């Protein structure tokens, strides 16, 4: 299972057929992918590297959730709501971490 695409993000967020937000959604998607790799310590993006792994469905859902939360809270001052959703995706990334966090 590969990383989510922009089209999958848009489908997840019910934005299919709406191109107005593609640039910002792609920016959030790239950031979420980087976070998934940085937090888990795994290589999900470079298939030419010998340490490459396919992200599982939990990682994919965490990335979709992170993008949706970032987009939804982009102009919101509700810091607690955003923290809760971001922490939920971080929890998933850490579950699959090669470098356990004690």
The pLDDT tens digits for 1-53 are 789 999 999 999 999 999 999 999 999 999 999 999 988 999 999 989 999 99
> Using one digit for the tens of pLDDT, what is the confidence trace for 50-77?
999 999 999 999 999 999 988 987 766 5
* Domain ranges within the chain, ordered by starting residue: 6-95
**Which neighbouring-strand residues pair with 43?**
52
Angle at the Cα of 69 from the Cα atoms of 65 and 70, rounded to 5 degrees? 120
Q: What pTM does this model have?
A: 0.79
What is d(CA 43, CA 84) in angstroms, rounded to the nearest whole number?
26
């Amino acid at each position: 299972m590969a990383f989510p695409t922009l089209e999958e993000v848009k489908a997840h967020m019910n934005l299919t057929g709406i191109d107005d937000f593609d640039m910002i959604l792609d920016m959030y998607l790239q950031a979420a992918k980087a976070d998934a790799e940085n937090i888990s310590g795994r290589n999900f993006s470079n298939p030419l590297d010998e340490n490459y792994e396919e992200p599982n469905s939990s990682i994919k859902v965490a990335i979709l959730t992170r993008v949706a939360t970032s987009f939804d809270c982009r102009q919101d001052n509700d810091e607690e709501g955003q923290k809760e959703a971001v922490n939920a995706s971080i929890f998933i990334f850490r579950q699959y971490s090669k470098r356990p966090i004690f």
